Amino acid sequence: MDRSSGILLHISSLPSPYGIGTLGREAYAFADFLHAAGQKYWQLLPLGPTSYGDSPYQSFSTFAGNPYFIDLDLLAEDGLLARSDLESVDWGGNPRYVDYGRIYAARFDVLKAAYRRGYPRDRAAVEAFCRDHSWLPDYALYMAVKQHFGMKSWLHWPDEDIRLRRPAALERYGRELAEDVEFFAYLQYLFFKQWDALREYIHSLGIKIIGDLPIYVARDSADVWAEPEFFQLGEDNVPTEVSGVPPDYFSADGQLWGNPLYDYDRMKRDGYGWWIRRMEGAGCLFDVIRIDHFRGLESYWAVPYGAKTAKDGRWRKGPGMDLVGALTNWFPHLEIIAEDLGYMTPEVKKLLADSGLPGMKVLEFAFDAREPSNYLPHTYGRHCVCYVGTHDNETVLEWRDQAARSDVSMARRYLGLNDAEGFHWGMIRGGMSSVADTFIVQMQDCLGLGPEGRMNTPGKPEGNWRWRLLPWEATPALAKKLREYARIYGRI
């Protein structure tokens, strides 16, 4: 990655009149803002359809796009919606935060109207799209059956035959739920049609897209239902152990993620084909892929299924370079970032070095006044990506107000922070001026927001992933200031 910089802002955080950010006009406007600001990268969170808790890291599919992001105005321009379909819907009254409850209640009714108008016209194109995306038939059937059973997890579907994918049941439900299967397939056709157009526009501005690839997939997903043989599942496909991380900076109890763990021995016998297909799907969305929780590929925390916290887990050996090498060799054209945060053992450091991938440096972790930190900019090599903070961290002003006074004092001394420049701009300057090839800042930190701008608090089950940019905040003046910082420090 050349010397450059970018901004982290998820699609859900874009402005729109329909309660959540989409792939429409405001996405194009933000791309223009990035271009004016001299930025080369737009970093996003995972784009999959979200489940309970609204986390983009718990998706019904590792391949599918989130139907919430389909832009309704573009559908209206395409003749698939009437204005009356949109005007009577309550999408939520606060433009600063997504109201997921209202979105869930209303969005699919509107999208169903688009399906009824558009599918007869687009049938041939959708069928061709399905043939080109081998994951889609399973996903569309999974979502149709899930809807049929009241959105229960597939592990709790009352019909064992379809739960265990017996051929006669697959055929019967496919026939009986044919319209719903078509509907969910059509939503993916619409999502990718809009995404491909937006991505082409972003590329025309010389901007690349960084996207997250969560290390795990959700238990309640088409991925696990369709290919259970690649996961550590026991009787009736119930997990034996699940994912998490031990007690750490974020949580004294650790984090109990609950995802099923991979059967890496089975995956290896298949030549890691499942991972290769997954990476290929991510490459259809992104130009640079950030592998989330990269350290879990060296060794991972396995928690007994049914445990209440992650405390009682154990470390188990991961596939290491065997898998990483397979992916980098298969996709030499893809740029990859290793999210190497967390408990870093010598073995994890060796895996990162052997992989040749850039790791991450987070400025909010740098200023522990009690001991030296390898997150301090003077310790960096060029081959890394520097962040002020990630979507899991406080905004920088929240960090300033909540961190130990000695740590904040050290940051002020180290970076020469002052009130005239502003604390958040001084931290941005600190990252911009580092030798790290790439620097990324959250949009919330460009705006100087406090705790009201936090995207996610790990371990907190509700109230996350809601923050949104207001329509007037991405100003020409802000773009000009960002561009000047990027110019001074050679990132344009």
What number is the average pLDDT over the span 208-220?
96
What number is the average pLDDT over the span 313-328?
96
Question: What is the predicted pLDDT for the residue at 250?
Answer: 64
Can you give the pTM of this predicted structure? 0.96
> Would you kindly state where each structural domain of the chain is located, as residue ranges?
4-66+197-488
Question: What is the predicted pLDDT for the residue at 51?
Answer: 83
Q: What is the mean pLDDT of the chain?
A: 95
pLDDT over 70, % of the chain: 99
Kind plus residue range of the DSSP H or E element containing 307: none
Active site (catalytic) residues: 292, 339, 392
What is the C-alpha separation between 20 and 79, in angstroms, rounded? Answer: 22
CB 282 within 8 A of CB 211: yes
* pLDDT over 80 (residue 217): yes
**pLDDT, tens only, 229-265:** 999 999 888 899 999 998 876 678 888 999 999 999 9
* pLDDT over 70 (residue 108): yes
**pLDDT, tens only, 361-398:** 999 999 987 777 889 999 999 999 999 999 999 999 99
**pLDDT, tens only, 407-454:** 999 999 999 999 999 999 999 999 999 999 999 999 999 999 999 999
What is the C-alpha separation between 126 and 290, in angstroms, rounded? Answer: 30
For 343, phi then psi, to 5°, come to -75, 105
* pLDDT over 90 (residue 458): no
Into which CATH architecture does domain 4-66+197-488 fall? Alpha-Beta Barrel (3.20)
List own/partner pairs for 301-305 with CB under 8 A and 24 or more apart.
301/243, 301/244, 301/245, 301/246, 301/254, 302/241, 302/242, 302/243, 302/261, 303/241, 303/242, 303/243, 303/244, 303/256, 304/241, 305/238, 305/239, 305/240, 305/241, 305/242
The DSSP call for residue 156 is: G
Question: What is the predicted pLDDT for the residue at 486?
Answer: 98
